[in-house]
A = this chain, B = another copy of it.
Amino acid sequence: MSELDAVLFANEAFYRAFADRDMDAMAEAWAENTAVSCIHPGWGLLEGRDEVLQSWQAILTNPGAPVIQCLAARVHLRDEMAYVICYEEIEGNYLIATNIFVHEGRRWRLIHHQAGATAEDPPKDEDADGEGGLIN
């Protein structure tokens, strides 16, 4: 698996944890040895692993939490940091997100997530997944 694929895999694992409402997997997706932060749509800045994971605990245990799917992910990688830009489909509506990762141990883990509203649909081209590349 290339490093680009490894970052996309980590991004997918984050959204799978979200979709499966799997708090253990969500906790695994986030870095443990690096400062983390999170901006949910419309929220302010959450900082620190405890505050970030508490927000996910509240979201994942909310019976009204929506089904989510990641679309058109694009990854950019530079040395030990990477970021993914992707759309999030939630019950026919779309959000757009920036997810930043670091290499922690042998895998990529999330250090920052911002999702917000978008008036646009994601590109239809499914080949978009995996686009992006190494940052020169």
Determine if A119 and B43 form an interchain contact, defined as CB atoms under 8 angstroms apart.
yes
Q: Which residue of B lies closest to A76 (CB)?
A: B35
Determine if B96 and A83 form an interchain contact, defined as CB atoms under 8 angstroms apart.
no
**Which of A1-9, A49-57, A128-136 is the interface stretch?**
A128-136
Contact with B along A51-89 (1 / 0, CB 8 A): 000000000000000000000001010111101010100
Determine if A80 and B79 form an interchain contact, defined as CB atoms under 8 angstroms apart.
yes
Shortest distance in angstroms between A110's beta carbon and chain B's nearest beta carbon?
13
Q: Is A102 an interface residue (CB 8 A)?
A: yes
Integer count of this chain's copies in the complex: 2
Determine if B136 and A112 form an interchain contact, defined as CB atoms under 8 angstroms apart.
no
Shortest distance in angstroms between A36's beta carbon and chain B's nearest beta carbon?
10
Shortest distance in angstroms between A65's beta carbon and chain B's nearest beta carbon?
19
In angstroms, Cα B135 to Cα A119, docked, is 34
Determine if B85 and A112 form an interchain contact, defined as CB atoms under 8 angstroms apart.
yes
Q: Which residue of B lies closest to A96 (CB)?
A: B39
* A interface residues, Cβ below 8 angstroms from B: 33-35, 37, 39, 41-45, 47, 74, 76, 78-81, 83, 85, 87, 96, 98, 100, 102, 111-112, 114-122, 132-133, 135-136
